[in-house]
Amino acid sequence: MDGNYELVLERVSRQSGVSEEELERRVEAKRSKLSGLISKEGALQVIAAELGISFDNEKLKIKELLPGMRKVNTVGKVITIYPIRTYKTKSGDEGKVANMIIADDTSNVKVVLWDTNHIDLIEKGEVGEKTVIEIISGSMRDGEIHMGSFSELKKSSDILNNVVTEKTVKEKPLSEILFGESIKVRAFVVQSFLPRFFEVNPDTGKKLTDEERATGKIAEKRALINVVIDDGTENIRAVLFHENLKKLGFETIEDNPTLMEQQRENILGKEMVFVGNVRRNSYFGNNELVIEDVQEIDLDKLIAQLEG
């Protein structure tokens, strides 16, 4: 069972006086009533609200944060700050967005800053790596804390020493995954498509822009492939980028349709361990897995688990 769910389940039980067993019964009843269209975490939040329990004014540990929470209050130490990016709004104006990772003694999470006042704190050096910050009224979206103009970010006097810096990866069946999670799953490739090739800036690793191409920037050709994997409980569309194609079984990566077709067919039915992030595919309107690593199955470990 998901550690986040268990922590919140225990909190709701403690505050409501309802046993965890009864709460779980209500969760399953709620999900059954909604034909499984709501996750366990979502159903638990609905039941907590029905019991008069709100997390809006509570300071939660990072591991207690659940998808869909609208008023997130938490404290964490900044362990990574990414370069601030600019973008064009629909009106043509220029906007900024900043991303950072914060951690406490239970887990870590990405924080996305959209408000210029919050971004100014980074640009002025008032918030940097190792700064302990307090977040008030953030919202959980795709497993990240998003902060807009109605959110508050300030330095905290809390002392956080032993924070979790490693990325949290959950081993769970595909039928139970939630968008925004980082997961590890053993599954078969049941469908595959031909690789697609694109050009990137070798310095940044990002897709080459028209402006860079116009200046004569020499591009590097990369590939990606879409597959469908199935672990016996569910299937999901997944995307793998250039560096993971060889791990999947592509011995040669080149823009050669005949060779690519042969290799594409060879990976069908292959069972591997896939590690990646669950993201929402805006085109198809469903979850997909962005693969970060592909691993061979450790047969000795698998046999030991089965014997156990």
Question: CA nearest 99: which of 163, 144, 149, 165?
Answer: 144
Chosen domain end from 114, 141, 166: 166
243 with 125, same domain: the answer is no
- Looking at the structure, do residues 206 and 251 belong to the same domain, yes or no? yes
Asked whether residue 139 falls in the same domain as residue 70, the answer is yes
Q: pLDDT, tens digit, for every residue of 90-124?
A: 777 888 999 999 999 999 999 999 999 999 999 99
* C-beta of residue 71 within 8 angstroms of C-beta of residue 139: yes
What per-residue string of b and e applies to 40-68 under the rule 16 or more CB within 10 Å gives b?
bbbbbbbbbeebebebeeeebbbbbbbbe
Same domain, 197 and 269: yes
Q: 135 with 189, same domain?
A: no
CA 304 to CA 213: how far, in whole Å?
53
Query: Does 303 lie in the same domain as 180?
Result: yes
Q: What is the pLDDT of residue 1?
A: 39
Domain stop point among 129, 145, 166: 166
| Cβ atoms of residues 172 and 185 within 8 Å | yes
Number of domains in the chain: 3
Domain stop point among 124, 143, 166: 166
Q: Does one domain contain both 47 and 63? A: no
Q: Are 142 and 222 part of one and the same domain? A: no
Over residues 135-161, the pLDDT tens digits come to: 999 999 877 899 999 999 999 999 998
181 and 292 share a domain? yes
pLDDT digits (tens, 9 = 90+) for 257-301: 888 899 999 999 999 999 998 887 777 778 899 999 999 987 777
Residue 62 identity: I
Write down the pLDDT at residue 155.
96
Domain of residue 45: give its range. 1-54
**Mean pLDDT value across the chain:** 87
Mark whether 296 and 194 lie in a shared domain.
yes
* pLDDT greater at residue 65 or residue 120: 120
3-state secondary structure at position 211: helix
Count of beta carbons in the 10 Å neighbourhood of residue 288: 20
Kindly give the interhelix angle for 3-16 and 40-50, rounded to the nearest 10 degrees: 10
pLDDT grade for 199, boundaries at 50, 70 and 90: confident
| CATH number assigned to the domain comprising residue 260 | 2.40.50.140
If asked whether residues 204 and 299 sit together in one domain, one would say yes
**Helices and strands, counts by H and E, the chain:** 8, 14
Question: What long-range pairs does 98-103 form, CB within 8 A, spacing at least 24?
Answer: 98/122, 102/62, 102/74, 102/76, 102/77, 102/78, 102/133, 102/135, 103/62, 103/76, 103/77, 103/79, 103/160, 103/163, 103/164, 103/165
In the predicted model, is pLDDT for residue 203 greater than 60? yes
Please check whether residues 303 and 178 belong to one and the same domain. yes
The 10s digit of each residue's pLDDT in 15-30 is: 999 999 999 999 999 9
224-236 pLDDT, tens digit each = 999 999 999 999 9
Residue 5 banded pLDDT, cuts 50, 70, 90: confident
